[in-house]
Structure 1
Amino acid sequence: MGRRGRGRRRGHRQRRRVTDVPDLTKEPGPEPGQDRVPPEAIVAIPVRHWGRWAGALVVCALLAWLAWSFVNSDIRWDVVGEYLTYDRIVEGAANTLWITVLSMLIGLVLGVLLAVMRLSDNPVLSNVAWGYIWFFRGTPVLVQLVLWYNLSIVFDTMNFGFYKDETNDIITPFVAALLGLGLNEAAYMAEIARAGILSVDHGQTEAAQALGMNKAKTTRRIVLPQAMRVIIPPTGNEFINMLKTSSLVSVVQFEDLFWAADIVGSRGNLVMELFVVATVWYLMLTTVFSIGQYYLERHYAKGSDRALPPTPLQRMRAHLTSFRTKSQVGGTTV
């Protein structure tokens, strides 16, 4: 009885000790008779990166010096503004855009065909595609343009069976420019398309074949749509590069933007002014297509990214909202 009574008293003391332990998970309340005081707002003070500011000042100073040098040079800027909408310059810009689009279409269609041939199990098709890519990637596009333009030196006439004519009548400056740019671009597009096709998981092809699809239908309906996500970005870069490379067609007497600026400038002794005009036109065209390429890439990223990247307008709004929020903290810009 004595031991049992002592055990009961000891257990009662232990239980009382456990119940007396304070609950640390709860926030301590205010003392009786006192009001709760809210915590002070934390004002974040960013670290000053003086090296960044110094680098930015140096870059801005160099840009200002470069702009001041051109503004105060002997270039007649009023003439530049006048010739921006000159008829021959506008026509040359339209011809540049036209030859670029057609050459890119030839390069894209032929490039996809060459990529499929390169991946074929047929050794003849694979080796022919490899030889085409090897030749056109291994020679400069300027040399190819001159070769096409002077093809009449080797062949006086061209006989296709259903059509026969003199080579000079067939290989006009436009045709020479189209063949030189388009066939050269096909070699690069073939490698881009091949990389896109190889990026698709092989299990997709096996699943399509298990459903009864043949190889052509699998490539057209399963592989190529998924490969577009990889093909589109470098294709956009190739198009912009083609837009600038098209200035080489002036060598074969095709009246593109560069050829028009060179002719008009040399006749009026306004060489630098017309080259500045051509530069402005090239910048405008590449800017427009760069914006189009951005939205096209954003469209094909829907199936791979959880959240689409913000557009330039959305980024601008986000920066303005962030700036306003920081300005309201403490009444000063942080």
Structure 2
Amino acid sequence: MHFDWAFFWQSLFHPSGAFLSGLGMTVAISVVSMVLGLVLGLIVALMRLSRNRALRIIASVYVWILQGIPLLVVLVVIYLGLAAANIYKFQDTSVMGVVLAGSVKAAVVGLTLNCGAYVSEIIRSAISAVPEGQTEASMALGMTGFSSMRWIILPQAVRTMIPPLGNQFNTLMKNTSLLSIIGVSEMFLVTQSISSATFKTFEIFLVTGVYYLLLTTVWTILQNEIECHLSRQLGIPVKSMLSKAQV
């Protein structure tokens, strides 16, 4: 058995259409799930910080369940379990002439629920880290609880949220490889298909590893630039990764 360098370089620099399609699916699902997870996480975080005991209990149970059950199990239950129990079946739908597979919708739901649980804890911790005096001062100025949260608390908490949220997105992108279990044609499942067709298992999976590394590296650079931008707005002197690289 030998390593086929020609196949490796060809697949790395000139990937097939199917591989690029899988790459696009990975990115698209990651971005959509992260955006929805941010919205869900913010809602759950505010519920956990609410004075309403029922809301706090509901949010706590949600976080407890989703953080305690492996994502792979969540995906299987959502896509296969609900259909087997005749509760709900994700059907293929057509959106503007583009067929959206039921497995893709189930994947987004599963990733969003999983992501929302972790994001909610990140947001809750960041909000809790803001001194209570900020809330008291805003109330003294006649601001409502919502206005205080919107204009005073959240802007201060965002700077603290960015690093862990960025790490969460990186984790989410890598977790898309689990979607192959429910038949989503993302990058990992396409890689398996190419491996089965060419018998170049090590070569093609190494290529896939490089592409996952590139995705996470690009996001890490973007995340650093976002952190630097927010720090500059707060008057904190920083140097971005791009600036350091130019020195």
TM-score (ref. length: structure 1): 0.68
**Residue number among 118, 122, 141 corresponding to 1:211 in the alignment:** 141
Structure 2 distance, partners of 1:306, 1:296, is 13
Q: Cα offset for 1:298? A: 1.0
> Does 2:240 correspond to 1:311?
yes
Residue aligned with 2:77, SS = helix
Q: Is the 8 A contact 2:25 2:186 kept in 1?
A: yes
Greater C-alpha radius of gyration: 1
Q: Cα offset for 1:305? A: 5.8
> Does 2:144 correspond to 1:224?
no
Query: One-letter code of the match for 1:155?
Result: N
Write the deviation string for residues 266-295 of structure 1: whole angstroms up to 9, x where unpaired: 112111111011111111111111100111
Q: How does 1:1-334 map to 2 (within 5 A)?
A: 74-84=2-12, 85-150=15-80, 151-155=82-86, 158=88, 167-169=89-91, 172-302=102-232, 306-308=236-238, 310-316=239-245, 318=247
TM-score (ref. length: structure 2): 0.91
Residue aligned with 1:302, SS = helix
Write the deviation string for residues 2-22 of structure 1: whole angstroms up to 9, x where unpaired: xxxxxxxxxxxxxxxxxxxxx
Q: Which 5+ residue runs of structure 2 have no aligned equivalent?
A: 93-100
Q: 1:306 to 1:102 in 2, by over 3 A?
A: closer
Structure 2 distance, partners of 1:78, 1:143, is 38
Structure 2 distance, partners of 1:279, 1:190, is 30
Q: Cα offset for 1:302? A: 2.5
- If asked which structure has higher relative contact order (CA below 8 Å, sep 6+), I would say 2
Structure 2 distance, partners of 1:203, 1:303, is 22
Structure 2 distance, partners of 1:190, 1:250, is 26
Q: How many residues align?
A: 236
Q: Is the 8 A contact 2:67 2:117 kept in 1?
A: yes
Give % identity.
37
Residue aligned with 2:237, SS = coil
